[in-house]
Structure formats: structure tokens, C-alpha cells
Structure 1
Amino acid sequence: MIEQAPGERRARSAYVAAAGVFAVGMAGTTLPTPLYGLYREEIGFSELVVTVVFAVYAIGVIAALLVAGDFSDVLGRRPVLLAALGLSLLSAVCFLFQNGLPLLFAGRLLSGFSAGLLSGAATAAVLELAPSDLRARAGLAATAANMGGLGCGPLLSGVLAQYAPWPLRLPFVAHIALLLAAFAVTRALAETVALRSPRPPLRPQGMVVPPQTRAAFVPAGLAAFAGFSMLGLFTAVAPSFLALTLGEQNLAVTGLVVFSVFCASTAGQMLMGRLGVRRALPAGCLVLTAGMAVVAASLVVESLPVLVVGALAGGLGQGMSFRAGLTGVSAVAPAEHRGATISAFFVVAYVGISVPVVGVGALTLALGLRDAGVAFAMYVILVSAAVGVFLLLRPPRSE
């Protein structure tokens, strides 16, 4: 057995450390998920307001992607990562001292800015810090850090809110401690971007979809839209479904259910690597369709186990279709527009996580929570099934 030199061991562990920073930052974006019911009781607002508070986060993500999606290419990965962690820290402070809706909105907006910066900079840092022979493993590490962090946020806050004191404060104190550790780790990471002199100007990159990518972009974007709509349902409205429709009051269980969705998404993204884009994109859409049908059934029969099965199937399908769509779009995008095209793909996905969920909140006022949830599930079923059938008839030509 050949013993690795200390420098080689550090190089091989650097991308893991960057993935840990990524996960900590993303966890803060979903930390409030199990707590919305407590906020609703303390402040007093409707389910529609809950979804609007959630949608503010997506607005922040989209704004960061459109304005600063490529800033880490110019400024370096570490400065942008530190800025993203700083925004996440400010978000936690807003939630820590909230006394009404204004700070909730501010906290969610700052959290969105943080996630928008992290999405590109942290993914690039994880890949670039990995030795060339571990690049494939680093890609999985970035995926796991992104979705795993999103899943760990509700799990952490749900457990602390259920079993520890100060349910609306302690989760954010814990996250601030994790962020401080992430700051220290980030400062120790090597910079992977060779800075140019004079420095190019920082300009908003906007949303670019080159004509030659549109045939792949449109179905992939619609699949991402449907998949992220499902994620929005579970991170914004599912706690209310669990408490008010299914009678589950344990916040740790709520966090665990949301955690399971993101774990399944991570598994789906890993599975896509074996299936390839041509099979994984339509298959993911159809698995998502089946999962949402089970979710709708769980609301009709008011069964938590059935909801969990639907969550796992929906998350698996979302992960498969999302990674397949992203891989396919990246493959056909011209090099000079690849970053902007990928950012446009994420913009479509985050529109999917916000606008339809606000629609669910509005429907609850007219139909009630359960019927609004069933109607939303039917909408996702229609979109994902249509895209899946289209892609079966016309497979993507990205491989």
C-alpha cells in the first residue's frame, strides 16, 4: 500500500471541505420549513402569506443568478463563497430577532441571495478543488452537498423545535455556529481562479438561451419547472398538510419527511449517471408523475405513510430529470454561453419553485388546504407527464 503525501491528502480532502461549506450554506435556505406553522400562530397570517414568504426566497435566488451568476469567474471562488455565507448569516440573524413579517421577508430574501451565489460558486469550487482522478466523485459530492444541505435544514430545525427549548430561536443559533465554522474552512481553501489584471468589469449576465440549445432547453426546462414545483410544495406547504390535513403535529416528523424528499432527489441524480440523459430525462418525468399521483392520493385518504411513499418517488423522479436536463443543456450549449445558459436553466427551475406554490396558497382560500393540494398535484402530474411522453417520442439528442 502506497502512503499518500500530506500535500496529496490535503488536495484530496479540499473538495470534501468545500462540499461541506456548500451543504451548510444550503441548509439555511430550508431551515424555516417546519417552523412556518409556529410563525403563523405567533404572528397570525394565512397559508397564502406562508407561500409568499417562501416565494420571496426564490426571487432572491433568481436575482442573484441573473445579476451575479458569473461573478466568481471574475472575483474568485473564495470571495463569492464568503459573501454567500455572510448573506446566510444575516438571514439567520433576521430570523433570530424576528418580531413580525418584515424580518421574515428580509430573512428569506437574503437567504435567496445566498443560495443564488452558492449554486454556481460552490459547485465550481468543489469540482475544481478535486484532483483530476476524483472529478466524477466530486460531481456527486457537489450534488449531495446541494440536495443534502437542503434536506438537512428542515431535519435540524424540526428536531430542535420539537425536542429543545426556544423553537423559533435555537435552530438559527445552531446554524450561525455552523456558518462560523464554514467561514473558517472557506478561508483555508485554495483559490482555484487565476485572477486577471486589469480585472474585467462586473456586469449582470442576464438570461441567455442560444438558438442552437432551445430544442434541448425547452423540454429540460419544463421538466425542471415541474420538479422544482414539487420541491416547493414540500418545503413551503407540506408542513401545513401534515399538521392540518394529516394531523401530524410532531415537527421532527415534518422535518424528516422533507429530508426524505431531498435524499430521494440525491439518489435520483446519482441514478441518472447510470441511465444517461436520453433515458433518465423522460423516465424521471414519469416517475415524478407517479410520485405526485401518490401524494394526491395521500391527501384524499389522509395517510402519512402514503405521503412518504409519494415524496420518495417524486424526489427520485425530480433528481433524475433535473440532472439529466442540466447535463443535456450543458452539453449542447456553446462554450462562450454555457454559464449563462445554465443560469437560465436554474432561473426556470426557481420560477417553478415559487409561482405555482403561491398559486396553492391562493387556492387554499377558495378550496381549503386539502383540495388545493390535490389540485396542485394534478397540475404537476399534467406538466411532468406531458414532458415525459414528448421525450419518449422525441428523445433528447445530447449524448
Structure 2
Amino acid sequence: MPHRYAFWVVGVAFLVLMASASAPSPLYPVYQQAWGFSALTLTVIFAVYAVALLSTLLTVGSLSDHIGRKPILIASLILLAVSLMLFIVADSVPVLLAARVVQGIAAGAATGALSAAVIDLQPDASTGPLLNSVAPSLGLASGALGAGLLVQLAPAPDILVFALLIGAALILAVALLFVPETSALRGFDSRRHLASTLLPRMSIPTSVRAPFLLIAPALFATWSLGGFHLSLGPSIIGTVFDVDNHIVGGLEIFAMFASGAVAAAMVRNGFPRTVMMIGATVLAAGVALSLVSVQIESIVLYFVGAVIAGSGWGATFLGSMRT
């Protein structure tokens, strides 16, 4: 497959991976009502995904540098399909937790290889970083909105949502067979070399330590806010604003992350640190509006706050990564 087509195949795989992460969000209130678990349990169901993703990223995240991008990406998409199948058969909280853990492992294994493959295949120096910045927010936005529409309008949404994503993941796994391999395929010198590669390591080069420590709070703020909306957003729509419509729940997540994607695209050529500082200020203003909207129970203001916070989210993330 020519590189220009392979680039977009990998980009779509990135979108599907992120869409699958947010697709369960509009269904959480459905599961919560059916099985009677608490809001704390709901946030744990969301959080185990992030823990599994981070643990996998720190261990197998660099494997694609040694054995190739394609094997990691294809295996990750197949594992993603397995996790989505667990969602379909889930009849209790433990099975739901297992589905999220497997989903997190698939995402953690794929994230590093996807980001690297996007850069390897990019048609020019600016397209790759832009896709890597926009794909997470755009994928999360489309997954939540699509799932919200299906939950509200389609039959058996707890099956259909995941069946469609399984189909997309498997089609992309086949398509990736025809994508050119871009890694040097260094392999491993020994079992000890393999073991050392899988050993979690984190370090910050001295030359970037100061800006990294300054930027870290901004990154924590953006993804903490994203996690809050993905786990509790639809429940807040139902419990605080008394809106029993799953489309609105999905639309709330879409409003935040879609505005983040648009903002990142609009400010991509700005000075990175300026973009980050303005983005963080806008994000804070959006969160403040959200707090006010909950106090006065105004869903319109809540959506305005989500859009503003989302715009700040996208700009802050892009500015932080570029810095």
C-alpha cells in the first residue's frame, strides 16, 4: 500500500481505538440502573481502563521498535475486539471491569505504535503531529456521540454499539496487513534484552526537566477533566439536570472533545507556550462555568462550559506536547 493511503489507514485505526474508549460512556447509566451500582463503582469501572493502559504502555510500549509496528497494531486491534465482545456478554460489574481492563491493555499496546506509525508515514512534517493531537479528542467525541444515538434510537444498543466497533477493528486489522512496515525491526539480542525492554522505566532528560515539570500540571488537568466527563458526564445529565435522553449524554462528551479537536487544529501554528498558557486559562474558565451551571441547574450553561473547557483542553494539550 502506498504511504499516503497507509497514513490514513493508521489514522482511522487511531480514531477507532479512541472511539471504543468513549463508546461505553452513554451506556454506563443503563448498566448502573440495571445492576444498581454506585457512582463510585462507575468511576472505578472507568479508572481501571486508564490503569491498564498506563501499565501496558510502560511495559510493551516500545516493543514496536524491535518487532515492527504492524504485529503490535494488528494484535492490539484483535485484543480490542475481544474486549468489546466482553462488553456484549457482560451481565455484572466484574465482567464489565474485565472488559475495561482488556480494552486498556489493547489501547496501551497500540498507542505508542500508532503514534510512531503516524510520524513514520506522514506526508509532511506538520500532518503527523496534528493527527496525533487531534485523533484522541476526535475519536473520543465520535465514539460517545455515536453510542448515545444508538442507545437512544437503535434496538439492543448494548450489543449493536460494540458489534459495530468489533467489525471496524477487524476490518482495520486486515487492512494493516497491507500497510508497509516502517520500523527497523531490530529484534532482541537475548532473553535478558527482551526482559530489560519490558521493564518499566521512566526518566526525564536534564535538558527538558524544567519545562516538563512546568507542563505536567497542565497535562494532568486536561486528562483528569476528560476522565471526569467520560465517566460521569452522562450520569450528571440524568441526575443533576433530570434529562433522560442518552443522545444528550453522548452529545455532552462530544461537545467537549470535538471542540478540543477544532481548537487544536486552529492554533496548531501558534507559539507552543503561548497556546498552552491561553488554553489552560480557557480550560479553567470552562470548568468554572460548569460548576456554576450545576449550582443553578442550567443545562445550557453546562454545555457552554463543556465547549469552552474542551477548547482549552485541545489547545493546552497541543501546546504542551509541542513545548
Distance 1:210 1:141 in 2: 26
CA contact (8 A) 2:119 2:129 kept: yes
Residues 1:143 and 2:138 aligned together: no
Q: Which letter does structure 2 place at the counterpart of 1:264?
A: S
Deviation at 1:104, TM superposition (A): 0.5
In 1, Cα distance between the equivalents of 2:154 and 2:188?
A: 52
Checking the alignment, whether the CA contact within 8 Å between 2:130 and 2:268 is kept in structure 1 is no
Letter in 1 for 2:318: R
Contact 2:260 2:310 in 1 (8 A): yes
Q: Does 1:187 align with 2:182?
A: no
The corresponding residue for 1:300 is 295
Aligned residues: 318
What does residue 54 of structure 1 align with? 46
Conserved? CA contact 1:70–1:205, under 8 Å: no
1:196-211 maps to which residues of 2 (within 5 A)? 196=186, 201=194, 202-211=197-206
Partner of 1:33: 25
* Mapped partners of 1:223, 1:35: distance in 2: 29
Alpha-carbon distance in structure 2 between the residues aligned to 1:181 and 1:160 = 21
- State the Cα deviation string for residues 145-188 of structure 1 (Å, max 9, x = none): 22211111111211111101112211111111111111111111
For 1:249 and 1:226, the matched residues in 2 are separated by: 29
Match of 1:106 among 87, 98, 113: 98
Counterpart residue number, 2:242? 247
Which residue of 2 is the match for residue 393 of structure 1? none
1:317 and 2:312 are equivalent in the alignment: yes
* Selected match of 1:234 from 219, 229, 238: 229
How many Å apart are 1:197 and its aligned residue?
5.3
Rate the CA distance shift 1:197–1:88 in 2: closer, same or farther, 3 A. Answer: closer
1:282 aligns with 2:282: no
The one-letter code matched in structure 2 to 1:248 is V
Are 1:69 and 1:205, in contact at CA under 8 Å, matched by a contact in 2?
no
- The one-letter code sitting in structure 2 at the alignment partner of 1:22 is F
Describe the SS at the equivalent of 1:192.
Answer: coil
Q: In structure 2, what is the equivalent of residue 360 of structure 1? A: none
> SS state of the match for residue 194, structure 1?
coil
Q: Deviations over 1:62-109 (max 9, x none)?
A: 101211221111111111111221221111011000010111001111
**1:207-262 residue CA offsets vs partner (Å, 9 max, x unmatched):** 21233322111121100101111111110011111001111211112112201211
In structure 2, the partner of 1:170 is 160
- Aligned counterparts, 1:19-98, within 5 A: 19-98=11-90
Could you say which residue in structure 1 is the equivalent of 2:254?
A: 259
Partner secondary structure for residue 255 of structure 1: helix
Secondary structure, aligned partner of 2:269: helix
**1:203: Cα distance to partner?**
2.6
User: How well do the aligned residues superpose, as a CA RMSD in angstroms?
Assistant: 1.6
Q: Distance in 2 between matches of 1:197 and 1:320?
A: 38
| Identity level (%) | 33
Q: Per the alignment, do residues 246 and 215 of structure 1 end up closer, same or farther by CA in structure 2, a change over 3 Å counting?
A: same
In structure 1, what is the Cα distance between the partners aligned to 2:150 and 2:229?
Answer: 19
- Give unpaired runs (5+ residues) of structure 1: 1-6, 329-399
Task: Kindly state the Cα deviation for residue 144 of structure 1 after the two structures are TM-superposed.
Answer: 2.8
2:198 and 2:257 mapped to 1: Cα distance?
33
What is the TM-score of this pair, normalised by structure 1? 0.77
Deviations 1:91-139 (A, max 9, x none): 10110000101110011111111222222111111221123xx231233
2 CA distance for matches of 1:198 and 1:297?
Answer: 55
CA 1:173/1:260 → structure 2, altered by over 3 Å: closer, same or farther?
A: same
- In structure 2, the residue corresponding to 1:135 is in which secondary structure? coil
Unaligned runs of at least 5 residues, structure 2: none
Task: Give the TM-score normalised by the residue count of structure 2.
Answer: 0.94
- The 1:314–1:31 alpha-carbon spacing in structure 2 relative to 1, beyond 3 Å, is same
